[in-house]
Amino acid sequence: MPPGTKSVPQHIAIIMDGNGRWAKAQGLARIKGHEEGARAARECVEACAELKVEYLTLYAFSAENWQRPKSEVFALMRLLEKFLKEKTPELIEQNVRLQAIGRLTDLPPACQQQLHKSIEATANNTGVTLILALSYGGRLEIIDGIKSLLRAIELGHIDKGMIDVAMFSKHLYTRYYPDPDLLIRTSGEMRLSNFLLWQLSYTEMYVTQKLWPDFTKKDLFAAVEEYGRRQRRYGAVE
Ligand code: FPP
């Protein structure tokens, strides 16, 4: 194995794209694509548990997704709430610890309540940490991080001369997690879509043409296998 390469990533992040196109291709309503997408997400959690991946971050709803038609936003929030309610016993059984990042107070109250319930119910689990990015935007996160740093300076907890990469990272939503090693994006689009802008600096990217509802455990294994062949240099030479 080349130096600097770990065959299994510690943290996988996924941009689950293509639910709408999948539904359209089947002549179904967009929400059916999201429902199938939730099934694919569940399969990926299982795959990560099998591989002993420690962290899995799923981009489930972006800060920009609020601009979608009200009916789709409402249906997605209902789906999220239902998914959490139904799947929490399964998450407990699989030893999965649920976490969430983003402006969570933007979510409808019922959704927030269920989310906190599920987070609490899985808090002591020691297997995969599943992090849902909800009402998440990378630029907003950086702005919230700057505000948090400024507050710490005002309170005299830190001096501005002490600010460095490691310290700033501790003021982001992701402060408890390592940066992703592997980013997977489905449906062939070659963009970050405001996802984890700070944290993806040295992440290996894997883009597949498959639409998210068609993404299976086997596809995740293939992405991890490809990751194992990458040589990570973090900007240095060998
Ligand atoms: C992108 O497809 C997907 C989303 C905006 C939502 C992702 C949500 C899920 C997979 C379901 C809920 C997930 C969990 C974990 C409960 P798109 O609608 O942008 O597809 P398109 O680009 O083809 O229109």
pLDDT digits (tens, 9 = 90+) for 86-138: 999 999 999 999 999 999 999 999 999 999 999 999 999 999 999 999 999 99
Best mutation site among 14, 16, 81 for ligand 1, i.e. most ligand atoms within 8 A of its Cβ? 16
Residue 170: count of CB within 10 angstroms of its CB: 14
Domain assignment of residue 155, yes or no: no
Assign 2 a pLDDT band (cuts: 50, 70, 90): very low
Domain assignment of residue 176, yes or no: no
- The model's pTM is 0.95
Q: Looking at residue 231, what is its pLDDT? A: 82
Domain assignment of residue 1, yes or no: no
C-alpha 216/C-alpha 40 separation (Å) is 6
The CATH number given to whatever domain includes residue 186 is 3.40.1180.10
Query: For residues 236 and 124, which has the higher predicted lDDT (pLDDT)?
Result: 124
Ligand 1, residues at Cβ distance < 6 Å:
16-21, 34, 37-38, 41, 58, 60, 65, 79-80, 83, 132, 212
Q: Which two tokens stand for residue 141?
A: 């996160």
In ligand 1, the atom with minimum distance to the C-alpha of 41 is 15
Domain assignment of residue 2, yes or no: no
In ligand 1, the atom with minimum distance to the C-alpha of 59 is 7
Opening angle at CA 135, ends 134 and 136, nearest 5: 80
Assign 7 a pLDDT band (cuts: 50, 70, 90): confident
Q: What separation in Å is there between the alpha carbon of 67 and the centre of ligand 1?
A: 14
Total structural domains in the chain? 1
Domain assignment of residue 150, yes or no: no
The per-residue pLDDT for range 23-81, each reduced to its tens digit, is: 999 999 999 999 999 999 999 999 999 999 999 999 999 999 999 999 999 999 999 99
Q: Looking at residue 82, what is its pLDDT? A: 97
Domain assignment of residue 149, yes or no: no
Domain assignment of residue 205, yes or no: yes
In ligand 1, the atom with minimum distance to the C-alpha of 211 is 23
Supply the residue whose CA is at minimum distance from atom 5 of ligand 1.
61
Q: Looking at residue 4, what is its pLDDT? A: 45
Residues designated as active site: 17, 65
Q: What separation in Å is there between the alpha carbon of 54 and the centre of ligand 1?
A: 23
Assign 6 a pLDDT band (cuts: 50, 70, 90): low
C-alpha 72/C-alpha 173 separation (Å) is 26
- Cβ(219)–Cβ(18) under 8 Å? no
Q: What separation in Å is there between the alpha carbon of 17 and the centre of ligand 1?
A: 6
Boundaries of domain holding 69? 11-138+182-228
Domain assignment of residue 208, yes or no: yes
The per-residue pLDDT for range 164-222, each reduced to its tens digit, is: 999 999 999 999 999 999 999 999 999 999 999 999 999 999 999 999 999 999 999 99
C-alpha 91/C-alpha 95 separation (Å) is 6
